[in-house]
Structure 1
Amino acid sequence: MKVKISEVFRNLSITKRVILGSITLLVMGYMFCLPRQLFHVPYSTVVTARNEELLGARIASDGQWRFPPRNTTPEKIKHCLITFEDKHFYHHWGVNPLAIGRAVYQNIKNKRIVSGGSTLTMQTIRLARNKPRTFGEKIIEMIWATRLEFRASKEEILSMYISHAPFGGNVVGLDAAAWRYFGHSAEELSWAESAMLAVLPNAPAMIHLSKGRETLLAKRNRVLKLLHEKEIIDSSTYELAVSEPLPEEPHLLPQTAPHLVSRFYKERNGQYSHSTIDRGIQMHIENIAERWSNEFNRSDIRNLAILVIDLPANQVIAYCGNVHFDHRQGGNQVDVIQAPRSTGSILKPFLYYAMLQEGALLPHTLLPDIPININGFSPQNFSRQYEGAVPASEALSRSLNIPAVTMLQKYGVPKFHNFLQQTGFKTITRPSSHYGLSLILGGAEATLWDVTNAYAQMGRSLIPNQHSDAVPQKEADILMGEENKNEAIQQKFTWDKGAVWQTFDALKEVNRPEEIDWKSIPSMQTIAWKTGTSYGFRDAWAVGVTPRYAVGVWVGNATGEGKPGLVGAQTAGPVLFDVFNYLPSSSWFERPTGVFIDAEVCRQSGHLKGRFCEETDTVLILPSGLRTESCPYHHFITLSADEKYRIYENCANTEPTFQRSWFALPPVWEWYYKQHHPEYKPLPPFKSGCGEDSFQPMQFIYPPMNARIKLPKQLDGNKGFITVELAHNNPEAIVFWHLDDIYMMQTQDFHKISLQPEPGKHSLTAVDGEGNTVSTTFFIK
C-alpha cells in the first residue's frame, strides 16, 4: 500500500511539523550556503615560455601580485603547510574540534586571543570572505568549511589556500611569493624556502624579510625540525636546510619578452598564458637586438623589433617587440611587431609569386627598367639608374622598383590587393584605388607580424607532410600553440608549391650584407630573404626564410622620423643574418615534384621560344606558364653582307645579302640596355630607298605620354626648363624637334633639348631624316 508524503505530513502534530520544516530549511540553507565561486578577486597576468619558465607578469588591478590559481600543490610546500598549520588536515571535515577546544582554553587562560584553532579549510573560507574576525564570523567559517569539504577534494582546498594566502606586502599566493622572494618557480623551492613560505601567511604583517627576521627564521627552522622528527626529511637535508640563509630582499620579476607580456595583459588580462616562446632563444635574440640597437643609436635610430617563427611547428619562438622596454621615451614601449608601418619593397615577392602562379610571368622574362610616368606616378629605382631591361628574377633579387610597378600594372592592383588580404595582411583595409600602383612600393602599411607570418606560410608549404592550406590564424593561437579550427568563418588560401619554390629560388640570390660569395663557403646556409625601405627612410625591413625558421626584422623610429642611413639592406639585413647565424642551420628546400614541366625558352628574353629564337634553354616552369607569350624580341631579317643595312625583300639590290635572326628591344629599352650590355647590337636601319621600316626606330625617354610636370624655379626666381630626351636606334640619325607644331631645332648623336613651355597642354613631335615620326603629350602645371 502506497503512502503519500503529504498524508504523512498532515498526520504529524504541529510541533513535529515545525521541527521537520526547520530541519528542511536548515538542510537546504546548508546545501546552498557556499557560493559557486568562492574568490572574487582580480589576478595578475602571467606569461610563461613553452617549458613553463616565467617570461613576465603584470600586477593585478588591485595592486597585488596575485598569480592565477594553481591546480596542484608542490609536495614540499604541502608537507610544510600541513606540518605547521594543520597536521590533521587529511583527517577532519573542515573543522577540528580538538583544535577549536584547545584554542578556546588557551584564549580563556591568557585572557586574550592567542590561538584561532582554524583549519586550512577554515582559513581558505576566511580568505574568500575577507570579513573582520568576530565570533559570528568564526561560526560562518566553520559552517562553510564543512560545506567546502563536500564540494572539493583536499588537494583542491589546499590549492585554493596557497593561491590566495597573503605572503607579506602586496604578495599574494604561492607562485607570486616564490618569484618575489626567491626568483624561481614554486616547483623549484628548496625545503628551507618552502618552510619559510609556509609560515609567512600566519602573520605576514609581523614577520617578513625587513621586519621580524629572527622570528621568521626561528619559525622556519621549527618547521624543518618537525619535518625531520616526522622523518619527512633526513638529517643531512635538515642540516643543509637550517643553514640556508633567508633572502635579503624581494626579487624583481623576470622581464623577458616584455612587449609580449604587455600584449597578453591587454588581450588576456588576469589569465595564465602558456606561450610558445623558447626562453633561451628569446633571451639571445634580445641580446642581439640590444647590441645592434646600441650601434644604431649613434645614428639616432632608436627602435628595433625581431620575430622568429618555427616553420614546422607554426609557432613563434622569439618575440622581441622593441628594445629598452624600461625606458619611458623614444617609443621604446611601442610593440613594433603589431604596429602598421610602410612596407617599402617587402611585398614584391608576393607579386612575383602571384604572377608565376597565374601564368602571367616566367621566372626570367625580361621586364622594362626605364623611366615611366603613369598618370603622374613616376617611380624610380633606389639607385636612380636604369638598365633598360632586366630578367624578372633578377629584378626581384635586386629589388628594382620600375619592373615591379610594370608587373603590378599588368597584373592589376585590385587583384593583387585581394591576394594580400587573402594571405593575412589585416591592415590593408582601404579600397585598392586608394593605394594604386604605389601598393608595391610602400603605399600600404603592414605589421611585422603579418609580413613575417606570410613569408613563413610560404615556406611552410614547401615542408613535407605540412598542410598547404594556410588558414589565417588568430595571433594568440600561434603564440600559444593552438590550432584555429574554425575554418568555416575564415577563407582558406592554398599556396602553390611550385610558385613558392621559384620565388624563393630568386630570393636566395639577394646580395648579402657581408658582400662575400656565400655560395663558396659550405658552412653558410641558404636563405631566401628580402629587404624593404620605406619612402623617407622611415622603415627598414628584412625577412628571411629557411626550412626551419622565418625571421622578420624591423629597424627605425617608432615615432616616425626618417634617417638617411635607415636602409633595409644596411640596417635590418645585418641583424637578420646575425639571428640566422645563431639559430640552428638547415639544408635548403627540396624542389617540389610533380608540379613543373619542361619548356623551351629564349635564352636572351626569358620568354617562351619564339619562331626566330635560335639560342634556347630547356627549363622547368609551371604548367600555367605555357599561357605566357612567346619571345617578341627576335625578328627574322635580311641584311647586307656587312650587316650595315636591312634590306626589304622586294628591293632591287645587287649587294650580297643574307638572312638571320636578330634580338632587338624597343628603342628606350635599348638606349639604357646597351649601356650595361656592350654585346648588344642595335638593329641596323633600312637601306635608303629600300622600303619602310616596320619597326619604330625612335621613342621618347622623357617625357612619357600624359606626364604632368611642374617646372622648377631657377636661382634668380625665373621659370625653369624641362629637358626632353629621345632614343634612336640609329646613332647617326638627325632628329627634328617640333613643339606644338612649331619647329624648334635639330639634334644629332645626343637627342636631348631643353624647353620652357607655358602652363597647359603641349604636344612634342620628333621627325628623323627618314621621315619616321614619334609624338608625346604632356602637361605643364
Structure 2
Amino acid sequence: MKVQIINFFKHLSITGKVILSIITILVIGYIFCLPRELFHVPYSTVVTDRNGDLLGARIASDGQWRFPPRTTTPEKMKQCLMMFEDRHFYYHWGVNPFATGRAVWQNLKNKRVVSGGSTLTMQTIRLARNESRTFGEKFIEMILATRLEFRASKEEILSMYVSHAPFGGNVVGLDAAAWRYFGHSAEDLSWAEAAMLAVLPNAPSMIHLSKARQALLEKRNRLLKQLYKEEVIDESTYELAVSEPLPEEPHPLPQIAPHLVSRFYQERNGKYSVSTIDRGIQTQIESLAERWSNEFNRSDIRNLAILVIDIRNNQVVAYCGNVNFERKQAGNQVDVIQAPRSTGSILKPFLYYAMLQEGSLLPDMLLPDIPVNINGFTPQNFNLQFEGAVPASEALARSLNIPAVTMLQRYGVPKFHSFLRQTGFKTINRPASHYGLSLILGGAEATLWDVTSAYANMGRSLLQLPQEKCSLLLASSQEKEEKRSYDKLRMTESEQQAAESELRETKQTASEASGTDIFQPGAVWQTFDALTEVNRPEEIDWKSIPSMHSIASKTGTSYGFRDAWAVGVTPRYAVGVWVGNATGEGKPGLVGARTAGPVLFDIFNMLPASRWFKRPGDIFVKAEICRKSGHLKSRFCEETDTLLILPAGLKTEACPYHHLITLSADETQRIYENCANTEPTIQKSWFTLPPVWEWYYKQHHPEYNPLPPFKPGCGEDALQQMQFIYPPMNARIVLPRQMDGSKGFITVELAHSNPATTIYWHLDNCYLTQTQDFHKISLQPSSGKHSLTAVDDAGNTVSTTFFVE
C-alpha cells in the first residue's frame, strides 16, 4: 500500500501536487478550525438545594446574569425554538441550503437584509464568536457550523444555544431568563412563557418587557398559533397560553441561605453548585432566626447564626450564617459560621469525654469546687459561688468552671490541645502554652462549623458511622463523571496516570482514617448521658412528657458576654447556634443558656424527632461505685451501686474519702440520738472531705456529718485537719483603697474540721490573734511577699504564701 501511494505521488504533475497539498491543508484546517472551547465567558455563581431548587446566585464578573451552561433543553422550549428559528434543525448538517437560498432571494428582492437564513447551529457559532454581521463572517459561520455538527450532538448544540442566547438587558441564557422573568426554573415554563423566551433572542434589544410590549405579545402569540396549527399543542392549551399575560417586570432572584451562596461565590466562582441544603428546613430555620433576632434586637444583640447537620449522612441541611443579609448594617454580612469566636464553655464535653476514655475519670467522681489560684489564674463559676465538691457529670451539666479547670490541670493542657486539633478545631493553632488552663473556659477561638461538626461526629460514633468532615456540596454522579471526562480531555497520558494514582492514595487514606475514628462510642454515650441532664429553657420536667425527645446539649458564654453558644445532638441532627454581635461588642444579657439555648430547643421542636441512641453493647463492664464519692468502692465504703463503666475506668483511684474511725459510746449517742449503744467504743466508716471542700460542701448538703474531734494521739495526723480558704498559695493580691485614699484590708479565712477549736494566727512569724468558731480575720499587710501560718490547739499547722502588689 505504501509503495502504491509513493508511486502515485511520483506520477503526479507539479500542478497536481500543489492542488493535493492545498486540499490537504484545507482539510487539516477544517479539522482544527473549531476551538476546543467555543465560549470563553464568565458565568454566574449558582447554588441550589439538594433537589435542584434555586437558593441564590451571584452575577458574573462581566455584569451579566449568565448561568452555567445547561446539558439538556426543556421540551417546551425545544419545540418553540425549532418552530420559530429552525424547523429543520434535526435534518441539516449545520447549514440549511433552502433557508440560505430563501434568505438570498428575500434580501435581493427587498434590496436590504431582511433574513439571514441562519440555523440554530450557525447562531450558536455567532454567539461564540460575537463578531460583526458581514457576508464574510456569515461564510465563516457556515464552515464552523458544519464542523460543530461533527463534534457535538444536536442536543448538545441546542443546549449551547439556549445557555448563551441573549434575552434582553443583562439576562443571558435560558436559566437566568426563566428566573428573572418568571421567578421559577426553566423546567417549569408554561407554553406561553417558553414561546416568549423563544422569540426574545431574535431581537432582544428591540423587544423587551419595558418597551414594545405589544410587539412582543403579538410575536409570542403568532408562535403559539403556529404550534397549534402544527398540532404541537391542542386548542385548549393554545387558548390558555394566548390569554396568559406578559410579566410586568423582572423578578428578583431567590435570597435563601445568602451567606452560603456568598461562600460558594468565593470558593466556586462561576460554577453551578448543588448543595446539601434542604430548602424546606432552610426556610423554616431562616424564619425562626428572624423571629428570634427581632427579640434579641431589643437588647441590642444583632447577629445570630445556625448550622444544622444531618448526622446520618453527615450533610449540612440548613446554613444560616447570619440574619438580615439584605440590611447594610455592621456585621450582617459576616458569615459567623466561618468566623472564629471565643469558645466559652462549649469545649467542656470534649475534656469530659477524653478523661473518661483515658480512664482518669468516672462519670460521678467528685471534683473540687472551691476557690483556686493557679499561678495567678483564679477561675470563677458563673454564679460566683462554690459548692465544695460536685460529681463530674453534674459539673458538666451545670457547666461549672472550677471543676473543669481542675480536670484540665489533671489531664494536661498539651494533651487536650492535641486532642482538640485531632478533633478538627483548625483555629486552635497556637501552642498549648499560649492557652494554658484558660483553654477550657474560652481562652481559644473556634468556628461554629468546627464545633457543630465535632459534636456531629460524636453522634456518628454512636451510630457506628465513619467520622469525617461534613459535606456542603452534593455533586451528582453524572456531574462527577462529566467533570472527570472533561478534565481527561485536557490531560496527557502521564497526567492521567498521576491523577488516578492520587485518587487511589486518597481513597486509601480515607479508608485508614475511617478505621481510627477519634471518638469511641462508650465514652460518647456517657458524655451524652450527662449532657441530657442540662436544664432546658422551658423550666419543666421534660422527661415526664412523652412528646419531648432527648437532646444532648451544651451552652457556653465567652468572657465579657461577647459570644453565646448552644449545641445539641440527637440521633438525627446536630444543631449549632451562636448569638452575639459580629462586631465583637459584649452585652450583659448575652448568656448562652438565656439566648442561644432557647433558640436551640426551638429548632429541635421544629425538626422531626427520633428515638434516642442505643447504648453500645459489649463495651462496658460492671463495677461497684461508692454512692457518695463516685469513685470505685474502697474497703470502707458501705453505700455502693453497681454501675456500668468503661474498662479503662477500673484503673481509677478507689474512694479516698471513706475512713474507718473509732467512736466512743458518748460520741455515738451524740451523733445518733436514738442509738442505745453500750459498748465503750464502736468502729464506723466515715465520709470525710478535705477541710476547704467540707466548708463549702456542708452549706449545700445538710446531711453531711463532719468528722468528730479526735481524741489526742488517736489519728489526727492521718487526715488533713485544716486548709486556707483564702488566700490560696502564691496568690497575688491588690489591696483596695478606702474612701479617704488609705490602703484597704484583706480578709483571710480558714476551714477546720472542728470549728470549735482555737486557731492561732501568725503573719511572717509574728503572732497576730486567735479565733474560735469562725476562723476569719482582716489584715493590712505591706507590699511584697508574706507568709501566713495558722496553728490549732492540737499543734496542727498550715501555712500559705501570698504577694501584695
Same-fold call, TM > 0.5?
yes
Q: Which amino acid aligns with 1:274?
A: V
Tell me what 1:14 maps to.
14
Change (3 A) 1:576 1:251: same
1:461 aligns to 2:461 (yes or no) = yes
SS at match of 1:737: strand
**How far apart in 2 are the matches of 1:691 and 1:94?**
107
Tell me what 1:650 maps to.
none
Change (3 A) 1:614 1:691: closer
Tell me what 2:291 maps to.
291
**How far apart in 2 are the matches of 1:399 and 1:669?**
19
1:216 aligns to 2:237 (yes or no) = no
**How far apart in 1 are the matches of 2:598 and 2:531?**
16
Q: Tell which deviates more after alignment, 719-728 or 163-172.
A: 719-728
- Cα deviations by residue, 1:270-323 (Å, 9 ceiling, x for unpaired): 000001111011001000000000000000000000111111111111000000
**How far apart in 2 are the matches of 1:2 and 1:244?**
69
Give the alignment of 1:455-494 within 5 angstroms. Answer: 455-463=455-463, 466-467=464-465, 469-472=466-469, 476-477=472-473, 486=507, 488=509, 492-494=516-518
Tell me what 1:430 maps to.
430
Displacement after TM superposition at 1:692 (Å): 4.4
Count of equivalent residues: 770
State whether residues 639 and 645 of structure 1, in contact with CA within 8 Å, keep that contact through their aligned partners in structure 2: no
Which consecutive segments of 4 or more residues in structure 1 shift more than 3 A? 475-487, 489-492, 688-693
Tell me what 2:758 maps to.
734
State whether residues 316 and 478 of structure 1, in contact with CA within 8 Å, keep that contact through their aligned partners in structure 2: no
Tell me what 1:725 maps to.
749
SS at match of 1:336: coil
Displacement after TM superposition at 1:90 (Å): 0.5
SS at match of 1:625: helix
Tell me what 1:270 maps to.
270
State whether residues 389 and 693 of structure 2, in contact with CA within 8 Å, keep that contact through their aligned partners in structure 1: yes
Q: Which amino acid aligns with 2:357?
A: Q
Tell me what 1:623 maps to.
647
1:716 aligns to 2:740 (yes or no) = yes
Displacement after TM superposition at 1:39 (Å): 0.3
Tell me what 1:649 maps to.
none
Tell me what 1:154 maps to.
154
Tell me what 1:189 maps to.
189
**How far apart in 1 are the matches of 2:474 and 2:634?**
49
1:352 aligns to 2:352 (yes or no) = yes
1:594 aligns to 2:618 (yes or no) = yes
Q: Which amino acid aligns with 1:195?
A: A
Alignment equivalent of 1:546, drawn from 565, 570, 574: 570
**How far apart in 2 are the matches of 1:257 and 1:456?**
21
**How far apart in 2 are the matches of 1:314 and 1:225?**
52
Structure 1 unmatched ranges of 5 or more: 647-653
Tell me what 1:29 maps to.
29
- Cα deviations by residue, 1:705-763 (Å, 9 ceiling, x for unpaired): 11122222233222222221100110201111111111111111111112222222111
Displacement after TM superposition at 1:655 (Å): 8.5
State whether residues 308 and 317 of structure 1, in contact with CA within 8 Å, keep that contact through their aligned partners in structure 2: yes
Alignment equivalent of 2:600, drawn from 576, 586, 591: 576
**How far apart in 1 are the matches of 2:148 and 2:157?**
8
Change (3 A) 1:690 1:116: closer
**How far apart in 2 are the matches of 1:661 and 1:236?**
95
Structure 2 unmatched ranges of 5 or more: 481-502, 671-677
- Cα deviations by residue, 1:493-515 (Å, 9 ceiling, x for unpaired): 33210100110000000000011
Alignment equivalent of 1:641, drawn from 660, 665, 670: 665
- Cα deviations by residue, 1:593-632 (Å, 9 ceiling, x for unpaired): 1111100010000000001001100000000100101000
Displacement after TM superposition at 1:486 (Å): 4.7
Q: Which amino acid aligns with 1:470?
A: Q
State whether residues 359 and 622 of structure 1, in contact with CA within 8 Å, keep that contact through their aligned partners in structure 2: yes
Q: Which amino acid aligns with 2:523?
A: A
Tell me what 1:515 maps to.
539
Alignment equivalent of 1:564, drawn from 585, 588, 605: 588
Q: Which amino acid aligns with 1:621?
A: I
1:680 aligns to 2:704 (yes or no) = yes
State whether residues 56 and 255 of structure 1, in contact with CA within 8 Å, keep that contact through their aligned partners in structure 2: yes
Give the alignment of 1:120-139 within 5 angstroms. Answer: 120-139=120-139
**How far apart in 2 are the matches of 1:141 and 1:643?**
112
Change (3 A) 1:92 1:743: same
**How far apart in 2 are the matches of 1:770 and 1:525?**
57
**How far apart in 2 are the matches of 1:447 and 1:472?**
14
State whether residues 80 and 194 of structure 1, in contact with CA within 8 Å, keep that contact through their aligned partners in structure 2: yes
TM-score between the two structures when normalised by the length of structure 2: 0.94
- Cα deviations by residue, 1:382-406 (Å, 9 ceiling, x for unpaired): 0000000000000000000000000
Change (3 A) 1:4 1:692: same
Displacement after TM superposition at 1:642 (Å): 2.9
SS at match of 1:494: coil
**How far apart in 1 are the matches of 2:782 and 2:308?**
57
Tell me what 2:230 maps to.
230
SS at match of 1:252: coil
State whether residues 645 and 684 of structure 1, in contact with CA within 8 Å, keep that contact through their aligned partners in structure 2: no
State whether residues 275 and 473 of structure 2, in contact with CA within 8 Å, keep that contact through their aligned partners in structure 1: no
Tell me what 2:794 maps to.
770
1:605 aligns to 2:629 (yes or no) = yes
Change (3 A) 1:697 1:107: same
Tell me what 2:250 maps to.
250
- Cα deviations by residue, 1:245-264 (Å, 9 ceiling, x for unpaired): 00000000000000000000
Displacement after TM superposition at 1:5 (Å): 2.7
- Cα deviations by residue, 1:106-163 (Å, 9 ceiling, x for unpaired): 1122121111111000000000011111111111111100000000000000000000
Displacement after TM superposition at 1:488 (Å): 2.3
State whether residues 45 and 67 of structure 1, in contact with CA within 8 Å, keep that contact through their aligned partners in structure 2: yes
Displacement after TM superposition at 1:479 (Å): 9.7
**How far apart in 1 are the matches of 2:667 and 2:45?**
80
**What is the aligned-residue RMSD (CA, Å)?**
1.8
Tell me what 2:53 maps to.
53
Change (3 A) 1:499 1:2: closer
TM-score between the two structures when normalised by the length of structure 1: 0.96
**How far apart in 1 are the matches of 2:475 and 2:567?**
19
Q: Which amino acid aligns with 1:100?
A: T
Tell me what 2:695 maps to.
671
Change (3 A) 1:5 1:682: same
- Cα deviations by residue, 1:65-124 (Å, 9 ceiling, x for unpaired): 000000000000000000000001001100111111111111122121111111000000
**How far apart in 2 are the matches of 1:563 and 1:579?**
24
SS at match of 2:167: coil
Tell me what 1:704 maps to.
728
Q: Which amino acid aligns with 1:232?
A: V
Change (3 A) 1:348 1:487: farther
Change (3 A) 1:550 1:691: closer
